[in-house]
Structure 1
Amino acid sequence: MSTRPATVYFFSTCVVDLMAPQAGVDAIRLLQEAGIEVVFPQAQSCCGQPAYSSGFFAEARGVAQSQLAIFPERWPIVVPSGSCAGMIKHHWPKLFADDPALQARAQDIADRVVEWSAFAQEVLGLALPTPAVPAARPLRVALHTSCSARREMGTHVPSEALLRTLPDVEVVQPVRVTECCGFGGTFSARHPDISGAMVSDKLDALRDTGADVVVSADCGCLLNLHHAAEKRRAAGEALPRMVHLASFLREQGGAEDAAQRVTD
């Protein structure tokens, strides 16, 4: 997609809605500041990914079916999470393979889904002004992309491109950048010891970059990293803060009300 629409739908995701609402607000405000009308369907809920990835396909189908009628206009559907965008775009149509009419409706929605960072970079061409006074040193920023966002939606590409447009920001890359942070939705609940070891390893890698900030367009990963980092900070360790990409972009643009952390 390269044509700028006048109006878009915004699918917030349940994680953003319940646990990181300011990240959603920041993403919406950047769209509005670019002159785009944002419509938020009140009947939206979960994308169904937790049920789907756990093998509960009938339950995931029910979640998806309840939302097939809430995006009636031919507007893009912007999603501030690569994993949720991937679920709707690649898996909703599969859920209705036995029902051509419902599958057509699911495919219509899938065809209009755009992950937020891709929309911001490719459609908005989002760029921030260069400050009059350069910073004493560049802010070191590490990008984390969720597994499904990276592999299904390729969102690390536009996310990194957005970061590289920012003045006084140095993008640093951790080792094994493609590895999972250990969240994995229900994986972290079913296998807490393995998940805990994975997030600890990821935090080590992020710390070793010297990053001041870790950004991501996936709040599930950010919350996992943030809360694990909080435990280590309580023991005296210095670790970067974790924030959604949209919030970080608004912060760098001078917005005083932008979230400083994913939990704000």
Structure 2
Amino acid sequence: MANAPPKVGLFVTCLADLIRPRTAFAALTLLRRAGCEVEAPAQQTCCGQPAYNSGDRGDAERIARNVITTFEGYDYVVAPSGSCMGMIKLHYPELFADDPAWRGRAEALAARGFELTSFLVDVLGYRPQGIALAARATYHDTCSGLRELGVLRQPRALLADVKGLELTPLPDGEACCGFGGTFCVKYPAISNAIVDEKAGHIEATKANLLLGGDLGCLMNMAGKLHRRGSRIRAFHVAEIIAGMGEGPAIGEEP
């Protein structure tokens, strides 16, 4: 008897749900192409990271309990966001470290949680086929994905199979874009200075596409590029490897 396909719960994320649904649909498409049975449970909510980072432990725990309960029936939980998945994998166990009733459940979910490109490459060995896009792109490594989850080679491995796509290195590519979730609200002047420097590095690549794995970072950089008069278009990496790179970019009218 053939093995059943892995049952994956897609953690959509707030920004994909409210701002960029194309990213969630791209993730869904890729997971299905990779042979997964995929569901996006309707009772999912925010991962709780804004509350957690702001010191609101009570609300963070309440939100985390809902997420844990919602995704307990799946073989894996996958998110097109290193930031949200970093919260689930690293900070949920910390959140419930002194709560025996929930600590084990948080750790179990963390062990089954993956950022999208990491899951496709490291767990499934997926390679996109028949995807082409004639463009020059540069890639921004988001802080949470890179530093918390070790996501670096995985998106590049997937993009290497997109025919016609030239990927050029981003100078100082591992530097923060200045978004930082609530950081950009608390310290707008510092955030703006950081993203302005980042935009200059992006423009120096002469790329016409900016790619990344977290919508918050991409929205921040796309907004700054637009205000600088740049024609560089921003996309989530999932959209490109799903063959959705000809559609509206982040910040453009659908």
Maintained 8 Å contact 1:5/1:75: no
Residues 1:10 and 2:6 are matched in the alignment: no
Quote the offset at 1:106 in angstroms: 0.9
Quote the offset at 1:120 in angstroms: 2.0
Aligned 1:1-264 pairs, distance under 5 A: 5-122=5-122, 123-129=124-130, 139-233=135-229, 238-251=230-243, 259-263=247-251, 264=254
Provide the rounded CA distance (Å) in 2 between the counterparts of 1:151 and 1:4: 33
Provide the rounded CA distance (Å) in 2 between the counterparts of 1:171 and 1:4: 36
Q: Percent same amino acid at aligned positions? A: 36
Quote the offset at 1:124 in angstroms: 4.5
Quote the offset at 1:74 in angstroms: 4.2
Quote the offset at 1:130 in angstroms: 7.2
Maintained 8 Å contact 2:34/2:120: no
Structure 1 gaps, min length 5: none
Provide the rounded CA distance (Å) in 2 between the counterparts of 1:239 and 1:203: 12
- Aligned with 1:149: secondary structure? helix
Provide the rounded CA distance (Å) in 2 between the counterparts of 1:175 and 1:43: 41
Provide the rounded CA distance (Å) in 1 between the counterparts of 2:119 and 2:247: 20
Change (3 A) 1:195 1:130: closer
Provide the rounded CA distance (Å) in 1 between the counterparts of 2:38 and 2:93: 25
**Runs ≥4 residues deviating over 6 A:** none
Change (3 A) 1:59 1:139: same
The one-letter amino acid of 1:180's match is C
Quote the offset at 1:91 in angstroms: 0.5
Change (3 A) 1:60 1:161: same
Quote the offset at 1:206 in angstroms: 0.5
Provide the rounded CA distance (Å) in 2 between the counterparts of 1:66 and 1:250: 30
The one-letter amino acid of 1:224's match is N
Maintained 8 Å contact 1:26/1:259: no
Q: Deviations over 1:155-186 (max 9, x none)?
A: 12201111122221221112111111010000
Maintained 8 Å contact 1:22/1:259: no
Provide the rounded CA distance (Å) in 2 between the counterparts of 1:128 and 1:5: 20
Provide the rounded CA distance (Å) in 2 between the counterparts of 1:185 and 1:119: 24
The one-letter amino acid of 1:242's match is A
TM-score by length of 2: 0.91
- Aligned with 1:70: secondary structure? helix
Maintained 8 Å contact 1:44/1:67: yes
Change (3 A) 1:41 1:28: same
Provide the rounded CA distance (Å) in 2 between the counterparts of 1:72 and 1:39: 13
RMSD: 2.0
Structure 2 gaps, min length 5: none
Provide the rounded CA distance (Å) in 1 between the counterparts of 2:207 and 2:60: 38
> Between Structure 1 and Structure 2, how many residues are aligned?
249
- Aligned with 2:154: secondary structure? helix
Q: Deviations over 1:172-231 (max 9, x none)?
A: 112111111010000001111111111111010011011111111100101111112222
TM-score by length of 1: 0.88
